[in-house]
Homo-oligomer: A and B are copies of this chain.
């Protein structure tokens, strides 16, 4: 596995790969890799001639007071996991190469970026869309792989790629969970033992929602009420939102018909966790 840190070297390398007619799979990450990321890498390796995984803790997607400074990092372990997964190039650019002085261009996906996580994390999806747009131009993927845990992120990227006529297939992969059900996230490392235990209420509440819908519940407000009540049985859980939304536009829906997204954001202490499920009736 080759490790590249310079943007210009990476562009040159990938231009050559594309010139040779190879298909490229790409997994953009912020590092501190876990099995969720590796599932994306495995899929990319199986579907493409060449696989790139990027590691970049992107400052423009963190708001003031968020966890940019303490975001977990373990580059050596990330290298080892990536190599084992069959990644061909690990791309790890520096902040000053990605955002040089006088940097001033931002990509904004309006509407869909302002709901759910976007409502509390101002500018977050603008930072995400911008960095992914840059990484796409540098890494020249045919297919890019994202985890469905960040459901809204995937929809924002899909919208950007479609709106800006980029020739990239966005592949959304299932959430990978710990054995006890907690959705894998680099941020799980922040949780205390007690918080970690109580955080199980997230996936339990998704399972409960599925059960309620299975027994006939079609009213989104009632469903949200039931889920909220359940989550509140965990004393450390501080709910940011429980939402039932259209799977494409992410607009709130009143009635559960066809496929709808149930999405949660809940804080445990300083740690903000998200989880979601697509309900189908």
A267 close to chain B: CB less than 8 A = no
Q: Separation in Å of the A32 CB from the closest CB of chain B?
A: 24
Interface check A196, CB cutoff 8 A: no
A residues 105-132 in Cβ contact with B at 8 Å: 105-112, 129-130
**Contact at B167–A105, with CB atoms within 8 Å?**
no
A229 to chain B, nearest CB (A): 34
In the bound complex, how far is the Cα of B102 from the Cα of A231, in angstroms?
34
Tell me, yes or no, whether A133 is within 8 Å of chain B by CB.
Answer: yes
Cβ-based interface call for A222 (8 A):
no
A7 interface residue per 8 A CB criterion: yes
Q: A133 — which chain B residues lie within 8 A by C-beta?
A: 164
Query: Given the complex, which residues of B lie within 8 Å of A138, measured CB to CB?
Result: 165
Residue A233 at the chain B interface, CB threshold 8 Å: no
**Contact indicator A159/B105 (Cβ below 8 Å):** yes
Interchain residue pairs A-B with the least CB separation, the first 5: A105-B163, A137-B165, A104-B110, A104-B111, A105-B109
A sample of 5 inter-chain contacts (CB < 8 A) reads A104-B110, A105-B108, A106-B108, A134-B165, A137-B165
